């Protein structure tokens, strides 16, 4: 214990022990169950705005396909892990904590892992896409209803646990035609992870699929609510295999976007269906079930809000997080208004910048290990690739880039997947919070540390949608501790 305590970064305000740091127990019996609940807004009742692509007051005109919360619960009789994936762009920590309280998954021995599949044509749940910049697009009545539905479904699924077995496989696929990288260097995570949950006689309960690409086949011109390609993927898997499909977004930062011929529903269906088919094909090679085990660890860490745009729109950050000082002590609610005013008058000094809590986590589910990152991690942080190993036919750096990354300064390994102690490695982004992009430090370029405008030439959009430079190091350090 002493050694661990000395290594801990002072920024950690709580450690996995708080949530019942629990290793897998290999002789326990395995139980699982799954289900889904429709969370599509009723457009005649709720005033929602579509999230994604900059604030432009996109009001939906209809629903193309439904949004779901998909849930799978694993238990060894002592420890229970529930995974809930919602068809939204993101969810903040406060929403995750609400769901834990509502389901009593904030108790020892129980852990609720909440993920947003990162759809860009689903309601604004983060307060960033209202009618005009700075005005939230969140319909709080709708959000309350969603949380009630999701909490009820988690409890219902948890009541239906039955004996289960687990198989996992990671298939390395050619991403061409599925996903491409539009920020240099070209690094595309080609790993399609699949965790199958079946009854002892082989009836499918759930299929968990991990793939790294933004759910944005449909672009800013779309006005219909859709779950984009993850919805099509899950429909394909549920139709062909049965049970509930649970999509976990992977390393989607830096910037993984669908490789499409046109931004339409046909292409969303094509990509979803192809990935679903590849997942089921991979499963055929997954081998026999392995020992059922359930483990989880998490760390709560503090990160500073360094992005000037976030500092100026602090009230919407407060909606998702409590503001704190650098020691983790909560700031008075009025600081959400006084700090932006001060920042506009004269830049906030380093010691005046507010901090927020976020969470990094690890699940061990039989043959699969899952690393939960609270934002959009770049694939190169997950697996390297600075020598072009994962460029999938793209140029490593685009000749047209006026300010390409200096790859001689790129970090050497080991990278996150190198540190994961299992064969089936699932890095999951947008897990338990959304901090925006987690940009590698060597290529984090902003004018005069002001993460607003003018944006640097070249590929530097992601910096403007990150919480700041320091968050990447803090989150990665925490992930490395959890993987030790």
CA–CA gap between residue 58 and residue 48 (Å, rounded): 9
Q: Is 293 or 472 the residue whose CB approaches Zn ion more closely?
A: 472
Contact range with Zn ion by CB under 5 A, out of 156-164, 188-196, 348-356, 373-381 = 373-381
Contact range with Zn ion by CB under 5 A, out of 159-167, 199-207, 295-303, 374-382 = 374-382
Residues 216-275 within binding reach of Zn ion (CB under 5 A): none
Q: Which of 219, 207, 179 is nearest to 392 (CA)?
A: 179
Q: Do 253 and 461 form a contact (C-beta atoms < 8 A)?
A: no
In Å, how far from its chain's centre is CA 439? 15
Q: Looking at 331-447, which runs of residues are DSSP E strands?
A: 355-365, 368-372, 376-377, 424-428, 437-438
Say if residue 419 is exposed, middle or buried (CB neighbours under 10 Å; 0-12, 13-18, 19+). Answer: middle
Q: How far is the CB of 90 from Zn ion (least distance, A)?
A: 8
> One symbol per residue from 376 to 395: x for binding Zn ion (CB under 5 A), - otherwise; what is it?
x-------------------
Q: Is 98 or 376 the residue whose CB approaches Zn ion more closely?
A: 376
Q: How far is the CB of 238 from Zn ion (least distance, A)?
A: 25
Kindly state the number of chain residues that form the binding site for Zn ion, as judged by CB under 5 A: 1
Residue with tokens 């898997």: 237
Q: Do 303 and 354 form a contact (C-beta atoms < 8 A)?
A: no
Q: Is 71 or 471 the residue whose CB approaches Zn ion more closely?
A: 471
Q: How far is the CB of 252 from Zn ion (least distance, A)?
A: 6
Q: How far is the CB of 214 from Zn ion (least distance, A)?
A: 5
Closest residue to Zn ion, judged by C-beta, is 376
CA–CA gap between residue 253 and residue 188 (Å, rounded): 10
Contact range with Zn ion by CB under 5 A, out of 160-168, 266-274, 344-352, 370-378 = 370-378
Q: Is 114 or 213 the residue whose CB approaches Zn ion more closely?
A: 213
Q: Is 198 or 380 the residue whose CB approaches Zn ion more closely?
A: 380
Contact range with Zn ion by CB under 5 A, out of 11-19, 25-33, 159-167, 371-379 = 371-379
Q: Do 73 and 82 form a contact (C-beta atoms < 8 A)?
A: yes
In Å, how far from its chain's centre is CA 92? 11
Give contact residues for Zn ion (rule: CB under 5 A): 376
């Amino acid at each position: 214990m002493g050694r661990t305590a000395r290594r801990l970064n002072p920024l950690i305000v709580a450690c996995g022990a708080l949530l019942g740091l629990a290793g897998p127990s290999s002789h326990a019996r395995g139980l699982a169950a799954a289900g889904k609940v429709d969370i599509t807004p009723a457009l005649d009742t709720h005033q929602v705005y579509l999230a994604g692509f900059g604030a432009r007051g996109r009001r939906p005109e209809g629903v193309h396909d439904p949004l779901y919360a998909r849930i799978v619960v694993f238990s060894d009789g002592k420890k229970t892990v529930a995974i809930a994936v919602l068809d939204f762009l993101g969810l903040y920590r406060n929403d995750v904590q609400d769901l834990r309280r509502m389901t009593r998954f904030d108790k020892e021995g129980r852990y609720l892992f909440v993920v947003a599949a990162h759809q860009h044509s689903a309601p604004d749940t983060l307060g960033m896409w209202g009618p005009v910049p700075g005005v939230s697009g969140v319909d709080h009545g709708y959000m309350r209803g969603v949380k009630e539905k999701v909490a009820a479904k988690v409890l219902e699924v948890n009541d239906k646990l039955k004996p289960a077995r687990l198989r996992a496989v990671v298939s390395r696929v050619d991403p061409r035609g599925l996903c491409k990288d539009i920020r240099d260097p070209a690094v595309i995570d080609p790993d399609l992870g699949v965790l199958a949950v079946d009854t002892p006689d082989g009836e499918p309960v759930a299929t968990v699929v991990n793939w790294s690409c933004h759910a944005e086949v449909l672009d800013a011109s779309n006005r219909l609510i859709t779950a984009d390609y993850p919805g099509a993927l899950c429909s394909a898997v549920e139709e062909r295999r049965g049970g509930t499909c649970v999509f976990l977004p992977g390393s989607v930062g830096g910037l993984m976007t669908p490789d499409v011929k046109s931004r339409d529903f046909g292409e969303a269906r094509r990509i979803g269906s192809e990935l679903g088919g590849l997942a089921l094909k991979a499963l055929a090679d997954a081998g026999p079930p392995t020992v059922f085990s359930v483990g989880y660890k998490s760390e709560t860490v503090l990160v500073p809000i360094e992005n000037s745009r976030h500092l100026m729109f602090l009230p919407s950050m407060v909606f998702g997080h409590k503001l704190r000082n650098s020691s983790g002590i909560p700031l008075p609610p009025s600081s959400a208004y006084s700090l932006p005013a001060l920042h506009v008058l004269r830049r906030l000094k380093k010691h005046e910048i507010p901090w927020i809590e976020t969470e990094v986590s690890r699940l061990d589910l039989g043959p699969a290990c899952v690393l939960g990152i609270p934002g959009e991690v770049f694939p190169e942080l997950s697996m390297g690739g600075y020598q072009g190993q994962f460029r999938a036919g793209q140029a490593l750096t685009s000749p047209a880039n006026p300010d390409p990354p200096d790859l001689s300064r790129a970090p050497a390994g080991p990278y996150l997947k190198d540190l994961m102690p299992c064969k089936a490695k699932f890095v999951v982004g947008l897990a338990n919070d959304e901090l925006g992009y987690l940009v590698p430090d060597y290529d984090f370029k902003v004018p005069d540390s002001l993460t607003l405008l003018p944006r640097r030439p070249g590929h530097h959009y992601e910096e403007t949608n990150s919480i700041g430079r320091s968050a990447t190091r803090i989150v990665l350090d925490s992930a490395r501790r959890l993987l030790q």
